[in-house]
Amino acid sequence: MEKMFGLMLLAVVVMITLSACGVFSKKEQPQTTKTILTFLGAPGSGKGTVAEQCVKDLGYATMSTGNLLREAVARGDELGKKAESFMKEGKLVPDELVMALVEEWLTKNMPKISTLVLDGYPRTAAQATLFIDLLKNKFPEVALRVVNIAISDDAIVARLADRLVCSSKPCQAVYSRKLLKDQNNLVCEKCGNPLIRREDDNETVVRNRLKVYADNVDPIIKVYKESGVRFDELNVEGKTVEAVFAEFKKLV
Ligand code: AP5
């Protein structure tokens, strides 16, 4: 009887050990060796600013669908022609155009990237769902994380009224007029080209972009929560660029 009990106990211990090692798990989890951090946040919340610091300070790569689309508009190619009218009015460019652009970009660039920040993508629940599927099927080595950048609409309107960007499309560096070193010489500190206001930064279009964002954000968050990706909040209201980045670094 005692021997029997001993054997049963041994069997239980073996089962627990094998189970802990994942032997009985139905699905093998893919090994993830790369990370994509996607920034969710309203227009003007500072996604691009944090992304730029990630490149400078942490050696991450970054990709902004807004920048890629503006480059396409400047080139006047097929995609640019289709996207231009949506962007001018502060509407979202159709999902299928953006998805094709993102897949092409990731296929070309992801092999040489270890950590990527996505600035302004996905922007709809459909984009988020398609993106998660794309990663599962084509980039199983990538772990996805979301950073949700929170700020009030009033702070955004004030920021975007003050924003200047480099007129050179390959550069597109972003500045705050009041933080510029030389207020009388509005040129890019990186490439020397003139600084301009973005066409979609006038208050009417900004308000429309904020509405589009508000209409889409909850369904996007639902997709993320249901898929189980890591989701962190970064509250940036009233914080300097440096303070925001210090908090961001604690998250990652
Ligand atoms: P996009 O270019 O992505 O614009 P956005 O999301 O509207 O975001 P912004 O670039 O305006 O702001 P940001 O959050 O990067 O803030 P920034 O760092 O510049 O998209 C443009 C258009 O393209 C869309 O409207 C749509 O038509 C289309 N599009 C793009 N992606 C799409 C997609 N996936 N699907 C469909 N359509 C798509 O900061 C703003 C200002 O604040 C700057 O002046 C900055 O210097 C300043 N600032 C930043 N942080 C701070 C701080 N902590 N304190 C003070 N000032 C700060």
Averaged pLDDT score across all residues of the chain: 92
Contact assessment for residue 143 and residue 35, using Cβ atoms and an 8 Å cutoff: yes
What class is the 31-151+215-251 domain?
alpha beta
209-243 residue pLDDT tens: 999 999 999 999 999 999 999 999 999 999 999 99
Give me the percent of the chain exceeding a pLDDT of 90. 84
DSSP element (H, E) containing 8: helix 2-20
79-113 residue pLDDT tens: 999 999 999 999 999 999 999 999 999 999 999 99
114-173 residue pLDDT tens: 999 999 999 999 999 999 999 999 999 999 999 999 999 999 999 999 999 999 999 999
Q: How far apart are CA 104 and CA 247, in angstroms?
A: 32
Question: Does any ligand 1 atom lie closer than 6 A to the CB of residue 209?
Answer: yes
Domain ranges, ordered by start, for the chain: 31-151+215-251
- Distance between the two ends of the chain, CA-based, in angstroms? 55
Question: Which of 176, 179, 190, 245 maximizes ligand 1 atoms within 8 Å of its Cβ, making it the mutation to test the pocket?
Answer: 176
Whether pTM exceeds 0.85: yes
Q: How far apart are CA 213 and CA 90, in angstroms?
A: 10
Question: Does any ligand 1 atom lie closer than 6 A to the CB of residue 66?
Answer: yes
Q: What is the pLDDT of residue 208?
A: 95
Q: How far apart are CA 154 and CA 138, in angstroms?
A: 40
**What angle (nearest 5°) sits at the alpha carbon of residue 251, between those of residues 246 and 252?**
100
Q: How far is the centre of ligand 1, averaged over its atoms, from the C-alpha of 30 (Å)?
A: 33
192-213 residue pLDDT tens: 999 999 999 999 999 999 999 9
Pick 181 or 53 by higher pLDDT.
53
Question: Does any ligand 1 atom lie closer than 6 A to the CB of residue 205?
Answer: no
Q: Residues with catalytic annotation? A: 47, 123, 163, 198, 209
